[in-house]
Amino acid sequence: MSGAELPAQPQPSAAPAGRIELGGELSVNRLGFGAMRLPGIWGEPEAATDAHRLLRRAIELGVNFIDTAHAYGVSERRIGEALHPYPKNLVVATKSGLGRRGPDGRPETIRGQVERSLQLLRVERIDLLQLHTIDPGVPIEESVGAIGEFQDGGKVRLIGVSNVSVEELERARSVTRIASVQNRYSLGDRSSEDVLAVCERDTIAFLPYFPLGAGALARARELQDVARAHRATPAQVALAWLLQRSPVMLPIPGTSSLAHLEENVAAAGLRLSEEEFRRLSAST
């Protein structure tokens, strides 16, 4: 369905879906922006202007949570260039613990990556620093402990983890307070239901990455039918489903397109009926 066929869409705004408090300290709108797909993040300098335009438009639309990572090419640099000095209510989250050859949760690696992230983001303190993934060769307690050193030193405000099981989450929580979990989750991939349940129980923000990774579900009849009823796109319906799935959900869809950014943000204003929500929930 093209943009020209969607005159009844809600006006783009991240606000209608409500807000969530990260760690009980930072209040953000419940639809963020994932910066992994920014134009030019793998080094193409001619795309820098497009990346800056996209980031600034996200802020104009009401997005006040941006998620990036040390591993995302020059994404952190683009964010610093485009948005610093940052709006007062903007929360920028990043990640450490992933290297060129895969997971690297060694404390010395994390320390080096965090110092570089502080430089590129042009900040003295990172709002939310997440362990990017689990390194099977390093106990998660050591990796999270290295991040905790930065928190103790005032260079990190909140700590999160990513790609964790329930058991790994509990081990991380034995070391420090965990404000967020970022796991793969979408309408078509609900393998982290048990982790989400823990987050709901303990009011930990849950950031589903690849929130539009519905795969074949994007072509499923139920999703298409609901989208048609709302004169919306399937992607907007998939995001609306996530927002209604749990009050701790903070989707972070990413895009390199201004048009898709506006479509994604408009999903915050889309409300599914209880019957539509149930139909979609039962569609996999």
Residue 227, number of CB atoms within 10 A of its CB: 21
CATH of region 17-215+248-257: 3.20.20.100
pLDDT of 32 reads: 97
Token couple for 28: 């953000």
If we measure between CA atoms, which residue out of 129, 17, 153, 20 comes closest to residue 68?
129
What is the spatial distance between Cα 86 and Cα 63, in angstroms, rounded to a whole number? 13
pLDDT of 16 reads: 62
Told to judge if 185 belongs to the known catalytic residues of this protein, a careful annotator would answer: no
What is the mean pLDDT, run by run of 10 residues, along the chain of 284 residues?
A: 37 70 96 91 72 96 97 94 96 96 97 98 98 98 98 98 98 98 94 97 97 65 92 94 97 95 96 95 78
pLDDT of 136 reads: 97
* 3-state SS assignment for residue 170: helix
Contact 283, 223 (CB under 8 A): yes
| Sign of the alpha-carbon torsion through 19, 23, 24, 27 | negative
Q: Are strands 102-103 and 98-99 parallel, antiparallel or unpaired?
A: antiparallel
Q: Are strands 91-96 and 102-103 parallel, antiparallel or unpaired?
A: unpaired
For the chain, the structural domain boundaries read: 17-215+248-257
Looking at residue 195, its amino acid is: V
Q: Within 13 A of 112's CA, how many CA atoms are on the CB side? A: 9
What is the spatial distance between Cα 109 and Cα 182, in angstroms, rounded to a whole number? 20
Residue in 72, 86, 185, 209 annotated catalytic:
72
What is the spatial distance between Cα 226 and Cα 278, in angstroms, rounded to a whole number? 11
Q: Are strands 102-103 and 180-184 parallel, antiparallel or unpaired?
A: unpaired
